[in-house]
Chains A and B, each alone.
Chain A
Amino acid sequence: MLAKRIIPCLDVRDGKVVKGVQFTNHKIMGDIVDLAARYSDEGADELVFYDITASAYGNKVDKSWVRQVAEVINIPFCVAGGIKTLEHAREILAYGADKISINSPALTEPELITRMQDEFGKQCIVVGIDSYHDQESNSYKVKQFTGSDSTTQFTDWYTLDWVEKVQQLGCGEIVLNAINQDGVKNGYDIEQLQKVRSACTVPLIASGGAGSIQHFIDVFNQTNVDGALAASVFHKQEIAISDLKQQLANNQIPTRID
């Protein structure tokens, strides 16, 4: 049976892991390589590294830390943030990353997804979607450049339309980040994930809102997502991955326990 994946996300800025609340007031949490090794040892199924400043400021960030991560961990990992060209992607994959995730650059230039699929294969290409609930229209919409308050923009895309579009263009996985939920620890956005799941035939990862073990149990019991991503609850050691996985197993959720 395919296990539900538990995916710690390490937000990276200036070569350090940071995590904030709703993308502001970032606090330094620890060294990238040390945290990566710790999570791998504790039973994480996969890691995601988001370089949160890269897209927002348009610079190409030094990603040589990716190679150091690849030397120490033997689980899959994905790198996101500021990957705008085939050359960036090729370099990061050559450093040893298994997947690259694109978000803002895909909104700016959707064909990038197809070109990356053609060169690296669908399985390497993850699209991250920052989706928010628009009260006025009672619908879900996509935001861009969410790395910092000053750069965040609204887009013309409704979330469900964008989910369809990125699959047509060739992505191999979608990470749906509910940004009303990010960092506030009220639980995953179950209703939105159910809607997106019904439109999504590639693996779907839930992101945004995890504050307790029960939130993980809820998202796996109430939506058919393939994995759940979280950051601060792991970094701050509020939830131990081993406890989380034991609880998932106790709730008959397919889980990898070594």
Chain B
Amino acid sequence: MVEIGKNSIVIIDTGVCNLTSVYQAIRRLTDEVIASDDPKVITQAEKVVLPGVGAAQSGMQSITNKALIETIQQLTQPVLGICLGMQLLTQTSEESSNNSPVKGLGLIPTKIEHLETQGQPLPHMGWNQLSNMKHPIFDGIANNAFVYFVHSYGAPISDYTIASSDYGNKFSAAIAKDNFIGLQFHPEKSGKTGEAILNNFLNLRIEQ
């Protein structure tokens, strides 16, 4: 087992997505970051990042194959899901190769739906603006700051929305419940704004 310090950030290595960009972005902020798929290492981390690029079905399949579902569900430290990682924190996703929705980790009570864009191109790809931010992870971030999105599915606005964005319709740019936070955009690709958001996550304290 990898020895890790008490203050470590662990990026969950789901095996389906590329960790390089997330790793590099956090590495620019702290030395204490590793990638791992070992449940013990993940459980001991001070903070956990669940990255994700790709489809919901393969994402859940990979977490299932690595027997990490319960490990993630039982985490009490701050957990940050990014893009597909955010989507996996919810109850279900419509993004499925058959017609039945993909079951998620069920940690944030919302669901992932196909984006309704009023005819604008999909995927929703590029820099879009954040508004209605209400979570310490956005401390110091200006209203209407731009961050980088790449997705065709998303979470509707709900009680768990902590930031919204607009692409034809408003949708959740970020969601949270208790220690679980999900960002639909890619902070690791969002320039200085993304770096500030990641830094806020590293400094976050969740009241137990």
Contacts and interface: CB of A to CB of B under 8 A. Distances in A.
Contacts of B152: 122-123
Nearest to A71: B24
Contacts of A124: 53
Contacts of B51: none
A94 B191 contact: no
Contact of B128 (A1, A67, A201): A1
A-side interface size class? 20 to 34
B129 interface: yes
A143 to B, nearest CB: 25
Contacts of A201: 121-122
Interface in B14-51: 18, 20-21, 24-25, 28
B121 A227 contact: no
Interface string A112-138: 000000001111100000000000000
A5 B54 contact: no
B126 A40 contact: no
A172 interface: yes
B55 interface: yes
14 contacts: A1-B129, A2-B127, A2-B128, A3-B126, A3-B146, A74-B191, A75-B148, A98-B150, A123-B150, A123-B151, A202-B123, A203-B126, A256-B146, A258-B193
Given A70-B24, A75-B148, A121-B54, 14 more contacts: A1-B128, A2-B128, A3-B128, A70-B20, A74-B192, A74-B194, A93-B18, A120-B54, A121-B55, A123-B152, A202-B123, A226-B125, A226-B126, A258-B193
| Ranked 6 nearest A-B pairs via Cβ | A96-B20, A256-B146, A3-B127, A256-B127, A123-B150, A121-B54
